[in-house]
């Protein structure tokens, strides 16, 4: 599961709900021929939330005249799974927690810098706060906010309202919390921290940013976004023996819960929040264990190597077993 990418050249910024709906419907009018509950099940990525999934799903249902679990990320009242919006954010934090536990540590008292302010960043921040860490930053394409006192649950729910309901820029946060600072068109990697979680977009963390993080004694980097660190940045992290979790391992939570949503659709049955969360935690633990099995070096765990070899072995075994097809 996971790994495929598709998209469209459509900018939803400044568009009304009706315009977004019309676009989603015309997009699905072609897409519906290529997907199906036992063929290919797409999920949302950047710019695709439950609103868009709803419009896409509605059109699919209209065209096929059947109700099947053909898209994941659906609303809870029409076939969705609990924990799905939180999945990637929670998953990356569970993975980092396993990494820290392996070193005999935890999140308590750790300073955490997070980029992004979408689903992944919001719920990664929520889980970090629950585990006793201090979240210092969140960002969007206009820049980042830095709250020295830490972003607590109350402040985070304000950010969620700004981003999810009012669809505002992240700097509006300063109107309610003027003690925070906003850095325009900057990325948060120059803030000293223990853990960095890039949860915004591809290639947001380059070699210079990696050097800054290392200089500011950051000890752990976990990718919430897809491929946010450039190859040179990754080399820097592994060279300096930083605990670095590549996205293919650490952000698998979203894909995992997509799979759990598909399972629930097939069962025609909904699991409770706790059941889904427990399953997610155990999946992230298993992925961490696979990385350990294949990535252990003398005094260091190379998670890049571990994740790559684990993924390769799984595919190679399946190919050998199924023959030339």
Q: Given this model, what pLDDT does residue 136 score?
A: 97
Helix (H) or strand (E) holding 31: helix 17-31
* Residue 6 banded pLDDT, cuts 50, 70, 90: confident
Do 99 and 225 fall into the same domain? yes
CATH of the domain at 168: 3.40.50.720
Identify the residue with better confidence: 7 or 121: 121
283 lies in a domain?
no
Q: What percent of the chain has pLDDT over 90?
A: 88
The pLDDT value recorded for residue 5 is 79
Are both 62 and 211 inside the same structural domain?
A: no
User: Do 160 and 50 share a structural domain?
Assistant: no
Contact status, residue 78 vs residue 72, Cβ threshold 8 Å: no
The CA distance from 5 to 168, in Å, is 27
Region 140-164: what's the mean pLDDT? 95
Give the whole-angstrom CA distance, residue 46 versus residue 180.
27
Give yes or no: residues 161 and 216 share one domain.
Answer: yes
Question: How confident is the model at residue 316, as a pLDDT?
Answer: 94
- pLDDT mean over 73-77: 92
Is 73 a member of any domain? yes
Categorize the per-residue pLDDT at 252 as very low, low, confident or very high, splitting at 50, 70 and 90.
very high
Average pLDDT over residues 258-271: 94
Question: Does residue 70 sit within a domain?
Answer: yes
For residues 70 and 262, the answer to whether their CB atoms sit within 8 Å is no
Together in a domain, 232 and 112: yes
Rg (CA), the chain: 20
Choose one of 228, 250, 272: the last residue of a domain: 250
CA pair distance 121, 177, nearest whole angstrom: 19
pLDDT at 188: 96
**What value does the mean pLDDT take over residues 107-124?**
95
Lowest average pLDDT, out of 160-169, 190-199, 214-223, goes to: 160-169
Quick one: 43 and 175 in the same domain?
no
Residues 99 and 74 in one domain: no
pLDDT value at residue 91: 97
Does residue 223 carry a pLDDT above 90? Answer: yes
Q: What is the pLDDT of residue 205?
A: 96
Name the strand (E) or helix (H) holding 198.
strand 195-198
Residue 322 within a domain: no
Mean pLDDT to the nearest integer, 124-144? 96
Residue whose tokens read 């976990």: 222
Element (H, E) at 63: helix 50-64
Reference 182, options 117, 247, 96; nearest CA is 117
User: By the 8 A CB rule, do 39 and 70 touch?
Assistant: no
The answer on 194 and 110 residing in a single domain is: yes
Indicate the SS3 state at residue 301.
strand
Q: What is the CATH number of the domain that holds 60?
A: 3.40.50.10860
Determine the average pLDDT of the residues in 155-172: 93
**Domain identity same for 56 and 102:** no
Residue 38 domain boundaries: 17-78
Shared domain for 35 and 109, answered yes or no, is no
- Domain for residue 223, yes or no? yes
In a domain, 239, yes or no: yes
pTM: predicted TM-score of the whole model, two decimal places: 0.90
The rounded percent of the chain whose pLDDT value lies above 70 is 100
Q: Number of structural domains, the chain?
A: 2
Q: Going edge to edge, which strands form the sheet with 134-140? A: 181-184, 143-146, 134-140, 111-115, 195-198, 220-222, 243-245
Q: Write down which residue in 78, 105, 128 finishes a domain.
A: 78
Is the pLDDT at 117 greater than 80, yes or no?
Answer: yes
Do the domain assignments include residue 66? yes
Does residue 3 have a pLDDT over 90?
no
* Separation CA 212–CA 197 (nearest Å): 14
| C-alpha–C-alpha distance, residues 184 and 186, integer Å | 5
- pLDDT at residue 69 in the model: 92
For 36-53, the pLDDT digits (tens) are: 999 999 998 878 888 999
Whether residue 65 lies inside any domain: the answer is: yes
User: How many whole angstroms separate alpha carbon 284 and alpha carbon 98?
Assistant: 8
Q: Within this chain, do residues 197 and 132 fall inside the same structural domain, yes or no?
A: yes
Instruction: Assess contact for 110 and 194: CB atoms under 8 A.
Output: yes
Query: The tokens of 112 are what?
Result: 């955490």
pLDDT-derived band at 167, boundaries 50, 70, 90: confident
pLDDT recorded at residue 50: 86
Per-residue model confidence (pLDDT) at position 68: 92
As annotated, the active-site residues are 5
Domain end marker among 208, 226, 250: 250
Confidence band for 4, pLDDT divided at 50, 70 and 90: confident
Residues 186, 55 within the same domain? no
């Amino acid at each position: 599961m996971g790994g495929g990418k598709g998209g469209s050249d459509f900018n939803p910024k400044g568009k009304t709900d009706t315009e977004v709906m019309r676009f989603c419907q015309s997009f699905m009018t072609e897409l519906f021929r290529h997907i199906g509950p036992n063929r290919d099940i797409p999920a949302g990525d950047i710019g695709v939330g439950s609103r868009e999934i709803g419009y896409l799903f509605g059109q699919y249902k209209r065209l096929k005249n059947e109700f099947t679990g053909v898209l994941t990320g659906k609303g809870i009242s029409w076939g969705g799974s609990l924990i799905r919006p939180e999945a990637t954010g929670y998953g990356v934090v569970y993975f980092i927690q396993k990494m820290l536990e392996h070193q005999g540590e935890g999140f308590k008292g750790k300073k955490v810098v997070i980029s992004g302010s979408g689903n992944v960043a919001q719920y990664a921040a929520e889980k970090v706060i629950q585990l006793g860490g201090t979240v210092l930053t969140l960002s969007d394409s206009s820049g980042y906010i830095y709250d020295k006192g830490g972003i607590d649950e109350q402040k985070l729910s304000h950010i969620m309202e700004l981003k999810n309901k009012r669809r505002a820029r992240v700097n509006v946060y300063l109107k309610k919390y003027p003690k925070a600072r906003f850095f325009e068109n900057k990325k948060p990697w120059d803030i000293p921290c223990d853990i960095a979680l890039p949860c915004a977009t591809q290639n947001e963390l380059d070699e210079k940013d990696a050097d800054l993080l290392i200089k500011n004694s950051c000890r752990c980097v976990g990718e919430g976004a897809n491929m946010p660190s450039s190859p040179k940045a990754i080399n820097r992290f592994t060279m300096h023996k930083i605990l670095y979790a590549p996205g293919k391992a650490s952000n698998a939570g979203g894909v995992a819960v997509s799979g759990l949503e598909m399972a629930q659709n097939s069962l025609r049955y909904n699991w409770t929040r706790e059941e889904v969360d427990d399953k997610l935690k155990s999946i992230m633990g298993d992925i961490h264990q696979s990385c350990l099995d294949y990535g252990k070096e003398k005094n260091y765990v190379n998670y890049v190597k571990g994740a790559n070899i684990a993924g390769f072995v799984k595919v190679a075994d399946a190919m050998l077993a199924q023959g030339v097809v």
